[in-house]
Structure 1
Amino acid sequence: MSAFHLSWFSFFCCFVSTFAAPPLLPLIRDTLDLTAKDIGNAGIASVSGAVFARVAMGTACDLVGPRLASAAIILLTTPAVYCSSIINSPSSFLLVRFFTGFSLASFVSTQFWMSSMFSPPKVGLANGVAGGWGNLGGGAVQLLMPLVFEAVKRIGSTPFTAWRIAFFIPGVMQTFSAIAVLAFGQDMPDGNYRKLHKTGDMHKDSFASVLRHAVTNYRAWILALTYGYCFGVELAIDNIVAQYFFDRFDVNLHTAGLIAASFGMANLISRPGGGLMSDWLSSRFGMRGRLWGLWTVQTIGGVLCVVLGVVDYSFAASVAVMVLFSFFVQAACGLTFGIVPFVSRRSLGLISGMTGGGGNVGAVLTQVIFFRGARYKTETGIMYMGLMIIACTLPITLIYFPQWGGMFMGPMPGATAEEYYSREWTEQEREKGYNASTARFAENSVREGGPKSASGSQSKHTVHVDGLPADV
């Protein structure tokens, strides 16, 4: 549980830092003479760097563990947060947003950490709550930064100085979260990677093996695509929503911040709700339930996104639809990471990174196509983004696990989870016991085949009474 609280809070702080600028954009825009294109480019920069950082983070988690990987990326990106207070041109604004955005790679260590600490029946909920409470930073910062700005201004600072001082708050939060991860974190239930490698209790894997088993698993690529249009859309909305309501409905900065905050604050229950739904569907229908749940929720989110773009004539309707949309698109994120831990065990970190990186790619593409410059009105861009969500969710129908089935097909006769995961290890590696943790996971994931599969497996277990075997 210490890993749970450290992971979500450190990710929360990174989200606060990355999206500290959007709530103050009307002020920063006037100070630096930013154009619509400058703002669009900065929004793209804030999420583009994390694409590669998340893939690298996943690999680092597989090789050195989530504790060191998470603390390292948080500390390396902290200077960029502090430098936000001294920017004086559009180019410097773009650079600090670009380098600060690398910190979002801590999401991967958060999901890897939870997938390592919690068992299959609860992994969806653990990933959903940790990711959701971390993403909550995107909503909290919409409230935090305007409040800090007003407090600093009341002390006697000018608006020019006040918004610059405000950036020290997310910088300090991010610094202390990294120190806490290093001081109190632990990679696995039985110790840190370094200790486990030294004692021989854990196999020290190679980058080549981790990479090969990740990139050759087509399920990882599909989840990366679909995640681009749930989490990626969430990032895009975080970048534009405050300015959209400020400009479209002529509300003041504080009101725009409150509306934008309601979108991100929904993560308090929406993403955890998605993770909980994934686990519940698994208990009723196995892996096929997880897949159907993700497709249904994300498709409904796409429909609501289209509606949000259409009802731009009404302030009240726009706010109501945006809040409803936030619940579905964020729940889809939780449902996605209810599936990711089952794709691969040997390359769990890298596949988590690929999926997380897909979210950033989706955000970048969406920003470039719909919200950069004046090609589309913002409300038109939102409508088209909803259509992309619906289209890019369809490939979920192609995901198939031989031992559990897919959305439209049942499992292959005789296929087992142990066989599926053991393919990632050579015969020599299996003889040396390198796949021991993978075998335990396969045994614990029996209910992913559905209730009948789980009960059938339990009926085959054997216990020994007075030295004699007995089937129960």
Structure 2
Amino acid sequence: MEPTLPMPAAPSSIHFHANCTPTNYSTSPPNSWPPFPLAPAREISSYLNHSRHLSKSKPLPSLASSSQPRTLCFVAMEKKFVEEAGCCYYGGDVDVDGEGRATALRPAALSRPHTQAFHLAWLSLFACFFAAFAAPPILPALRPALVLSPSDSSAAAVASLAATLVGRLAMGPACDILGPRRASGAASLACALALALAAVFASSPRGFLALRFAAGLSLANFVANQHWMSRIFAPSAVGLANAVAAGWANVGSAAAQVVMPVAYDAVALRLGVPVTVAWRVTYLLPCALLVTTGLAVLAFPYDDLEGNRSAAAAAGGGNRSNTLWAVVRGGVGDYRAWVLGLTYGYCYGVELIMENVAAEFFGRRFRLPMEAAGAAAACFGAMNAAARPAGGVASDEVARRFGMRGRLWALWAVQTAGAALCVLVGRMGAAESPSLAATMAAMVACAAFVQAASGLTFGIVPFVSKRSLGVVSGMTASGGALGAIVTNRLFFSGSRYTVEEAISCTGITSLICTLPVALIYFPRQGGMFCGPSATVDDDDNDDGDVGANDDYMLLK
């Protein structure tokens, strides 16, 4: 057995071994080593920050068993996470920083809790997107069953977006106070119950509006998803983690476009169930997904690496200033959160609009049957699997080279390109003899850029405020729903514009609303046109949000 080298300055419950190379915490120890008890993650993090220079610059003398110089490292970095009286074991297949956050996204490494939390987060949000977009692809069947007019369909779409807006605003503080895991699981179960009740009792346009409202509420889980990832992953990987988790989850909208018409046909045509009952039976699918993922999230034991604590407690312990009001004020009072909400309203907002109108657009303009129109519309949502993660990768990569200024420039450039392509989609659809293939190609390209812009946006959000991360995430995410509501009311309601003209107007509005990205400025990193402030002091803690030893907002 290797000799144990105790350090007097370390917490009594932390044990060290001399068997790791400097800063390499993923090397597995010999199997003969016993698992040692660990201190709470905050003690480990504090000691690691204090002694980091030792492990990098002061190798120990050679031990008798080896001629190679050895250095101190934490056995904590060699063990898997388990919950035991507030303590954690760290899995060797995930590299972590001083606060226990993963420094890389490795979806195939099912270690605990980084990767498992990642998969639970995106699967839970996938179910929410599936539920929220379950109605549009089966509208041709719902119209006669519920006696819906075109204005009823439009009003229900607005109700769904309004529910998303309200839910996301409420979810931000809930995540900061309760933790994203509890907030997400509870929201999924509550929305499943509301959706099931609405599906059972809906028999009129008002019932359909209630159905879409209940489904729209589930998208509040997007805030919990992004908050959770921002607490699990370090700054070097948070852009990618946020983008992949949201991107894969957004594919739920595409899955609904394909699966719901097929499920409805199976129930109504093959089983011979009456139309008024068949669509209700079909809605059991999104309800079951919400219940399953909600229970799985609640069963998982971790919100972050220091136990299931609120963000307010994590930021300030028992400090009275970290109340709900302080958390909300920290987010609402930051102009950068408002700007990001505006820009997100015209990247993700464009996506919401297109996913609500695409199936009907293709069915009417190109005379496609319900299943084919749903499949064509699904291409827009399916791009999330690659495009949004690509935005996260781009955000992290440009940050490594250019810092925050690179993230901001990338967001502006990509969202501007997506807006221009949105204008092109509308113009191509308005042609006298539109080409289905060309229109589809333009729509897929538009989807790629607007979804990448969404990933780029949430590559910036975690750096605005650590203490009020949930509020900032909620404000930004709500901006997406609000942008879609405003756009729907301006361009898609009534008969003033055709659908093709409304799509072009949406693109023009997006071009204009992307410009305020230039106003975002971080004193420590700069903005699009300005470098870091020369007056920022290392001890400046930004109203208690970021301390001198807290590298949360550093882009290293």
TM-score > 0.5, shorter chain as reference: yes
Which letter does structure 1 place at the counterpart of 2:158? I
1:384 and 2:505 correspond: yes
Match of 1:256 among 364, 370, 373: 373
Asked whether the 8 Å contact 2:226–2:473 carries over to 1, the reply is: yes
Q: Aligned residues, how many?
A: 434
In the alignment, what sits opposite 1:348? 469
- CA distance in structure 2 between the aligned counterparts of 1:60 and 1:361, rounded to whole angstroms: 20
Shift in Å, 1:80: 2.7
- CA distance in structure 1 between the aligned counterparts of 2:480 and 2:513, rounded to whole angstroms: 12
Asked whether the 8 Å contact 2:399–2:405 carries over to 1, the reply is: yes
Which letter does structure 1 place at the counterpart of 2:337? A
In the alignment, what sits opposite 1:171? 287
Shift in Å, 1:104: 0.5
Shift in Å, 1:424: 2.2
Which letter does structure 1 place at the counterpart of 2:460? I
Shift in Å, 1:250: 0.5
Counting only pairs closer than 5 Å after superposition, residues 253-332 of structure 1 correspond to structure 2 as 253-312=370-429, 313-332=434-453
Match of 1:51 among 154, 160, 165: 165
Shift in Å, 1:111: 0.4
In the alignment, what sits opposite 1:423? 542
Counting only pairs closer than 5 Å after superposition, residues 71-470 of structure 1 correspond to structure 2 as 71-82=185-196, 83-152=198-267, 153-193=269-309, 205-312=322-429, 313-415=434-536, 419=540, 422-425=541-544, 438-439=546-547, 442-443=550-551, 445-446=553-554, 448=555
Higher helix share: 1
- CA distance in structure 2 between the aligned counterparts of 1:102 and 1:213, rounded to whole angstroms: 25
SS at match of 1:24: helix
- CA distance in structure 2 between the aligned counterparts of 1:325 and 1:416, rounded to whole angstroms: 43
SS at match of 1:311: helix
Shift in Å, 1:151: 1.9
- CA distance in structure 1 between the aligned counterparts of 2:409 and 2:140, rounded to whole angstroms: 42
Asked whether the 8 Å contact 1:20–1:141 carries over to 2, the reply is: yes
Asked whether the 8 Å contact 1:281–1:289 carries over to 2, the reply is: yes
Which letter does structure 2 place at the counterpart of 1:66? P
Bigger Cα Rg: 2
Asked whether the 8 Å contact 1:36–1:373 carries over to 2, the reply is: no
Question: Per-residue CA shift, 1:184-221, capped at 9, x if unaligned?
Answer: 141111211179969x9676831110111111111000
Q: Please, which runs of 5 or more residues in structure 2 have no aligned partner? A: 1-114
Which letter does structure 2 place at the counterpart of 1:22? P
Shift in Å, 1:166: 0.7
Asked whether the 8 Å contact 2:417–2:449 carries over to 1, the reply is: yes
- CA distance in structure 2 between the aligned counterparts of 1:87 and 1:103, rounded to whole angstroms: 18
Which letter does structure 2 place at the counterpart of 1:63? I
Tell me the percent identity.
46
Match of 1:31 among 120, 145, 148: 145
- CA distance in structure 2 between the aligned counterparts of 1:144 and 1:32, rounded to whole angstroms: 21
- CA distance in structure 2 between the aligned counterparts of 1:272 and 1:220, rounded to whole angstroms: 22
SS at match of 1:385: helix
Q: Please, which runs of 5 or more residues in structure 1 have no aligned partner? A: 426-434, 449-453, 455-472
In the alignment, what sits opposite 1:430? none
Which letter does structure 2 place at the counterpart of 1:35? S
- CA distance in structure 1 between the aligned counterparts of 2:549 and 2:490, rounded to whole angstroms: 42
- CA distance in structure 2 between the aligned counterparts of 1:369 and 1:440, rounded to whole angstroms: 47
Asked whether the 8 Å contact 2:420–2:508 carries over to 1, the reply is: yes
Match of 2:177 among 63, 70, 85: 63
- CA distance in structure 2 between the aligned counterparts of 1:298 and 1:61, rounded to whole angstroms: 28
- Assess, with a 3 A threshold, how the Cα gap between structure 1 residues 195 and 407 changes in structure 2: closer, same or farther: closer
Question: Per-residue CA shift, 1:256-279, capped at 9, x if unaligned?
Answer: 011111110111011111011100
In the alignment, what sits opposite 2:97? none
- CA distance in structure 1 between the aligned counterparts of 2:278 and 2:148, rounded to whole angstroms: 18
Counting only pairs closer than 5 Å after superposition, residues 15-30 of structure 1 correspond to structure 2 as 15-30=129-144
- Assess, with a 3 A threshold, how the Cα gap between structure 1 residues 286 and 167 changes in structure 2: closer, same or farther: same
- CA distance in structure 2 between the aligned counterparts of 1:209 and 1:203, rounded to whole angstroms: 11
Which letter does structure 2 place at the counterpart of 1:244? F
Asked whether the 8 Å contact 1:6–1:185 carries over to 2, the reply is: no
Asked whether the 8 Å contact 1:48–1:360 carries over to 2, the reply is: yes
- Assess, with a 3 A threshold, how the Cα gap between structure 1 residues 252 and 192 changes in structure 2: closer, same or farther: same
Which letter does structure 2 place at the counterpart of 1:8? W
Asked whether the 8 Å contact 1:81–1:168 carries over to 2, the reply is: no
- CA distance in structure 2 between the aligned counterparts of 1:327 and 1:173, rounded to whole angstroms: 27
Asked whether the 8 Å contact 1:418–1:442 carries over to 2, the reply is: no
- CA distance in structure 1 between the aligned counterparts of 2:346 and 2:549, rounded to whole angstroms: 29
Shift in Å, 1:84: 2.1
- Assess, with a 3 A threshold, how the Cα gap between structure 1 residues 143 and 400 changes in structure 2: closer, same or farther: same
Shift in Å, 1:338: 0.2
- Assess, with a 3 A threshold, how the Cα gap between structure 1 residues 86 and 417 changes in structure 2: closer, same or farther: farther
- Assess, with a 3 A threshold, how the Cα gap between structure 1 residues 444 and 64 changes in structure 2: closer, same or farther: closer
Asked whether the 8 Å contact 1:117–1:189 carries over to 2, the reply is: yes
Shift in Å, 1:85: 4.5
SS at match of 1:139: helix
Which letter does structure 2 place at the counterpart of 1:353? G
Asked whether the 8 Å contact 2:176–2:310 carries over to 1, the reply is: no
- CA distance in structure 2 between the aligned counterparts of 1:306 and 1:385, rounded to whole angstroms: 7
Which letter does structure 2 place at the counterpart of 1:177? T
In the alignment, what sits opposite 1:4? 118
- CA distance in structure 2 between the aligned counterparts of 1:418 and 1:243, rounded to whole angstroms: 56
